[in-house]
Amino acid sequence: MTIMLSVIMIIVSCLVWRCTSQYLDSKDKGHAVRSFVLAGILTLLMTVIYEKNIVLLYNIWAMMICMLYLTIPIIYFISNKNSTNMNNDVPYIVIDSRRDILLAVYVYLIVSAMEPVLRSGLPMWLYIVVCSCLSLLFISVPLLNIIHYKVYGEELSESSMLSIQQTRWQETREYLYAFLGKRGLAGLSLIIVTYISVCMYCGKYMYTQLVDFELNIALIYLICMTLFFIQEFPKGRIMASWISVKKQLQNEKMYKLKHDERYSELKVDTKNSLINKLQGTVIVVIGESASREYMHVYNKNMCFENTPWLESKENDDNFLIYNNVYASYNLTVEVLRQALTESSQYNNKEFSESVSIIDIARKAGYRTYWFSHQGRLGQDNVATTMIAQTANTYKGPLKQKNIGYDKELLELLQTVNPKENNFIVFHLMGSHAYYEARYPKDWTVWKSENTEAYYSNTILYTDEFLQELFQYATDNLNLQSMLYFSDHGENLQYGHHPSIRTVDTLEIPMFIYLSEKYREAYVDRVNLLKQNKTAFYSNDMLYNTIVGLLEVKTSHYSAKEDLGSKEYNFEKNDILTFGGTAHIYEFD
Backbone phi, then psi, for 369, in 5-degree steps? -125, 145
For the bound state, the minimum distance from the C-beta of residue 567 to Zn ion, rounded and expressed in Å, comes to: 30
Which residue, 494 or 518, has its beta carbon nearer to Zn ion?
Answer: 494
Output the smallest distance, CB 500 to Zn ion, in A. Answer: 13
Residue 533 gets which letter from DSSP?
A: G
Cβ proximity of 8 and 16 under 8 Å: no
Q: What is the DSSP secondary structure assignment for residue 432, as one 8-state letter?
A: P
Q: From CA 288, how far away is CA 339, in angstroms rounded?
A: 13
Would you say 155 or 487 has its CB closer to Zn ion? 487
State the number of binding residues for Zn ion (CB under 5 A). Answer: 3
Q: Rounded to the nearest whole angstrom, what is the least distance from the CB of residue 298 to Zn ion in the complex?
A: 18
R_g (Cα) of the chain, nearest Å: 29
Choices 11-19, 244-252, 326-334, 347-355 (CB under 5 A): range interacting with Zn ion: 326-334
Task: Select from 5-13, 92-100, 140-148, 487-495 the region that touches Zn ion (CB under 5 A).
Answer: 487-495
The site map against Zn ion for 230-249 (x = CB under 5 A) is --------------------
For the bound state, the minimum distance from the C-beta of residue 564 to Zn ion, rounded and expressed in Å, comes to: 25
With b for 16 or more beta-carbon neighbours within 10 A and e for fewer, the 184-220 pattern comes to eeeeeeeeeeeeeeebeebbeebbebeeebeeeebee
In angstroms, what is the minimal distance from the CB of 497 to Zn ion?
10
Of the pair 280, 378, the CB lying nearest Zn ion is at: 378
Dihedral Cα 139, 145, 151, 157, nearest 10 deg: 160
CB of 588 to Zn ion, least distance (A): 23
332 or 577: whose CB is closer to Zn ion? 332
Q: Which is nearer to Zn ion, 102 or 510 (CB)?
A: 510
Q: Which residue stretch of 144-152, 172-180, 310-318, 325-333 sits at the interface with Zn ion (rule: CB under 5 A)?
A: 325-333
Q: Residues with Cβ < 8 Å from 286, sequence gap 6 or more?
A: 336, 339, 425, 426, 427, 428, 485, 486, 487
End-to-end, the C-alpha distance of the chain in Å comes to 60
Cα 38 to Cα 42, 213, 235, 571, distances in angstroms: 6, 24, 17, 50
Q: Which is nearer to Zn ion, 313 or 488 (CB)?
A: 488
Q: How far apart are CA 40 and CA 124, in angstroms?
A: 32
Determine the angle formed by the axes of helices 26-50 and 215-232, rounding to 10 degrees.
150
Q: Taking contact as CB under 5 A, which single stretch among the options 328-336, 452-460, 518-526, 531-539 is the one that binds Zn ion?
A: 328-336
Of residues 495 and 564, the one with the C-beta less far from Zn ion:
495
Q: How far is the CB of 404 from Zn ion (least distance, A)?
A: 18
Residues 370/391, Cβ–Cβ less than 8 Å = yes
Within 10 angstroms of residue 332's Cβ, the number of other Cβ atoms is 24
Q: Least distance to Zn ion from the beta carbon of 350, Å?
A: 22
Stretch that binds Zn ion, among 196-204, 339-347, 484-492, 520-528 (CB under 5 A): 484-492
Closest CB to Zn ion: residue number: 332
Residue 406 makes contact with Zn ion by CB under 5 A? no
Burial of 487 by CB count in 10 Å (0-12 exposed, 13-18 middle, 19+ buried)?
Answer: buried
Q: Among 18-26, 332-340, 528-536, 563-571, which window interacts with Zn ion (CB under 5 A)?
A: 332-340
Nearer CB in complex with Zn ion: 135/332: 332
Q: Cβ closer to Zn ion: 98 or 438?
A: 438
Q: Which of residues 89 and 154 has its CB atom nearest to Zn ion in the complex?
A: 89
Site string for Zn ion, 260-299 (x = CB under 5 A): ----------------------------x-----------
Given 20, 332, 368, 558, the residue binding Zn ion (CB under 5 A):
332
Residue 342 or residue 487: which is nearer to Zn ion going by CB? 487
201 contacts 192 by C-beta, under 8 angstroms: no
Stretch that binds Zn ion, among 103-111, 329-337, 407-415, 562-570 (CB under 5 A): 329-337
Q: How far apart are CA 288 and CA 486, in angstroms?
A: 5
169-207 and 124-152 helices, crossing angle to 10°: 130
The letter for the amino acid at 44 is: L
Contacting residue, 487, 540, 551, 562, with Zn ion by CB under 5 A: 487
Q: Which stretch binds Zn ion (CB under 5 A): 225-233, 336-344, 347-355, 482-490?
A: 482-490
Measured CA to CA in angstroms, residue 477 lies from 140, 395, 413 at distances of 55, 19, 9
**Between vectors from CA 390 to CA 381 and to CA 432, what angle results, nearest 5°?**
25
**Ramachandran angles phi, psi of 485, nearest 5°:** -150, 160
Contact assessment for residue 104 and residue 69, using Cβ atoms and an 8 Å cutoff? yes
Q: Give me the least distance between CB of 487 and Zn ion, in Å please.
A: 4
Residues engaged in binding Zn ion (CB under 5 A): 288, 332, 487
